[in-house]
Amino acid sequence: MGEASELFPLIVRMDEEGELVGDLGLLSKQDLVDIYREMRLLRAFDERAWNLQRQGVIGTYAPYKGQEAAQLGATKPLHESDWLVPTYRDWAAGYVRGVPVTHGLFFSKGHPRVGDVPKSAKVLPAQVVIGAQTLHGVGVAWATKLRNENAATIVTFGDGSTSEGDVHEAMNFASVFSVPLIFFCENNQWAISVPIERQMRAKTIAQRALAYDMEGFRVDGNDYVAVYNLVSELADRARRGEGPFLVEAVTYRLGAHTTADDPSKYRVVADEERWAKRDPIARLEKFLLRESLIDEERILAVDAAAKEWVDEVLADFKAELSISSSVLFQNVYAEMPQSLANQFDHYQKRAKEVRA
């Protein structure tokens, strides 16, 4: 067998200097202007969410800073009929599908609104059990196949998840039943404090596709152009009845694993600086500036719009924080069973007595 780098070469269309090394494929230059603005808005929200945790407004939060190109590139090509099954860090991906970014904040507070996903979004609620959503993704994709729906499903997960048995069971099941699914691994190099080289001996995550007789791809996860075009092609093939596929998007989390983490204890500054130069937003900005599609004045305008948007989003979030404790009973079943109804009646009587 040849080297993994030969079997699964890194797909790149725009390098870290913002130079095209391929073509734009299905994208136009205006598409890149629009996605640049969207990435900056989502980055602004992510950074504010971090501050909210430090202020005690929310609980533990998992930032996605640095992974915007991977998340948006994986979801922008999807059709309305397609499904997204995300991990707990993919609030930017969910936003593309119509899930409010405030769900990331509700998630951190254990607020019941986190499960209130718009049905039209076709997104499963994010969950924190590492790798378990890959099994859910297989189930969704299999269901669409059994119903003869023209739909692709994409399930996202981190590199650390690939050390979990659930992921391998999901890949085996998906392969055996030939489901229209894209396994999309955001390889951000670290499973909390454990580097990728201590998680596995394999040279790439993509090569694991060989064990399940599926096609595997390795793409520069900080290159929006490359990710978008690859996922667009694979989603089209999945809708035609092909699949499953495994995509390894090579990226890097520029911040901590969560707000409870301190990466300075296990990452060296030189590596962080090297990856900071590959920032997906900075890369796109270099291209747009070179092409005279944006200028410094427009960048400032985007930042101002981002601040205004985040302020509005947070105002909506704070307005939704106050809830009745009755949701403990009413948010469990579609139809409340009698046993729970009896408890609810008892709770209401006791609440009236306390107020009296």
Whose CA is closest to 322, among 112, 104, 76? 112
C-alpha closest to that of 156 among 262, 267, 272, 78: 78
Q: Are 169 and 210 in contact (CB under 8 A)?
A: no
pLDDT, tens digit (0-9, with 9 covering 90-100), for 105-157: 999 988 888 888 888 899 999 888 999 999 999 999 999 999 999 999 999 99
Relative to beta strand 153-158, strand 245-250 is unpaired
Residues in contact with 325: Cβ distance below 8 Å, sequence separation at least 6, in sequence order: none
> What's the CA gap between 134 and 44, in Å, rounded?
29
Q: Tell me how far apart the alpha carbons of residues 121 and 78 are, in angstroms, rounded to a whole number.
A: 11
Give the pair of three-digit tokens for residue 30: 């205006």
Q: Are 22 and 13 in contact (CB under 8 A)?
A: yes
Each residue of 75-110: pLDDT tens digit?
999 999 999 999 999 999 999 999 999 999 999 988
Question: Band of the pLDDT at 255, cuts 50, 70, 90?
Answer: very high
Q: 213-248 pLDDT, tens per residue? A: 999 999 999 999 999 999 999 999 999 999 999 999
Q: Is the pLDDT of residue 4 over 60?
A: no
Distance in angstroms (rounded) separating the CA atoms of residues 344 and 85: 33
DSSP 220: E
Higher pLDDT pick, 24 / 113: 24
**Residue-level pLDDT at 2:** 45
The continuous run of DSSP H or E covering 304 comes out as helix 296-319
Measured in whole angstroms, the distance separating CA 208 from the mean position of its chain's CA atoms is 21
Task: Give ∠ CA 156-176-122 in degrees, rounded to 5.
Answer: 35
Mean pLDDT, residues 9-28: 97
Q: What are the residue numbers of the active site?
A: 253, 257, 266
Which backbone phi and psi does 156 adopt, to 5 degrees?
-105, 145
Q: Specify the residue for token string 């930017």.
A: 92
pLDDT above 90: percentage of residues in the chain: 87
Q: DSSP string covering 118-159, please?
A: -GGG-BPPP--STTTHHHHHHHHHHHHHHTT----EEEEEEG
Confidence of residue 1 (pLDDT cuts 50, 70, 90): very low
CB 12 within 8 A of CB 24: no
Alpha-carbon span 213 to 216, nearest angstrom: 9
Cα separations (Å) of 177 from 180, 184, 206, 213, 241? 9, 18, 20, 12, 11
**Which residues are CB-neighbours of 341 under 8 A, at least 6 positions away?**
none
How confident is the model at residue 5, as a pLDDT? 58
| Beta carbons of 64 and 92 less than 8 angstroms apart | yes
